[in-house]
Structure 1
Amino acid sequence: MVRAGELLDDVRAKMSQEAALRIGTDELVSAADEFQQKWRYGAEQIGKGVEATAEGLRRTHDAYASTEQAFTDALNKVGQSIAQPGAAAPGATIA
């Protein structure tokens, strides 16, 4: 995802550099400028989407890692109580 954002940044930078090259009729230059402006806007919107998606994936990864760790900890507690015969399970009351 990060690489996609970097590629889009490169494209936008190169398009800005290309704007200095004015070859052809005024109509052709105008059409090329209009195309570049629209493409640049589209690339910016895609870039924002890529950034948001990458952030969402990071958050999802972190949430899964946290859940997995909590699950592992819970299983370890259960395993310890099973390994120690006569030990009360966590949260159990002895009558």
Structure 2
Amino acid sequence: MVELFKEQVAKTPQNVAIEYQNIQLTYETFDKLTNKFANSLLNAGIRPGDKVPLIMKRSEKNVNCHLGSIKGGVCVCSSISGIPRRTQTVYLKTNQCKSDC
């Protein structure tokens, strides 16, 4: 998946890759954002193969975080923000997610 994405970035860097509500990101911008997220995970001590929680509201950033995680070799345990904290805690423990990132 990452290789296919890189090919598309090289072919059409200024084309719209992500559109959410009134926000549009080009392939080039999206690539930079996903690289930044992947590096921030690795700089925080997260290593390839680790499971990390992704608990956030819906936005264009969801896809950024998912692809950035894949680029970093990290497994994302997705959840929806707004669910009770206790439910989130059980979810994180059940899926053996790191909760310190």
**What TM-score do you get using the length of structure 2 for normalisation?**
0.29
Q: Which has the higher helix share?
A: 1
Q: Indicate the structure (1 or 2) with the bigger Cα radius of gyration.
A: 1
Q: Which has the higher strand share?
A: 2
**What TM-score do you get using the length of structure 1 for normalisation?**
0.31
RCO higher in 1 or 2 (8 Å CA, sep ≥ 6)?
1
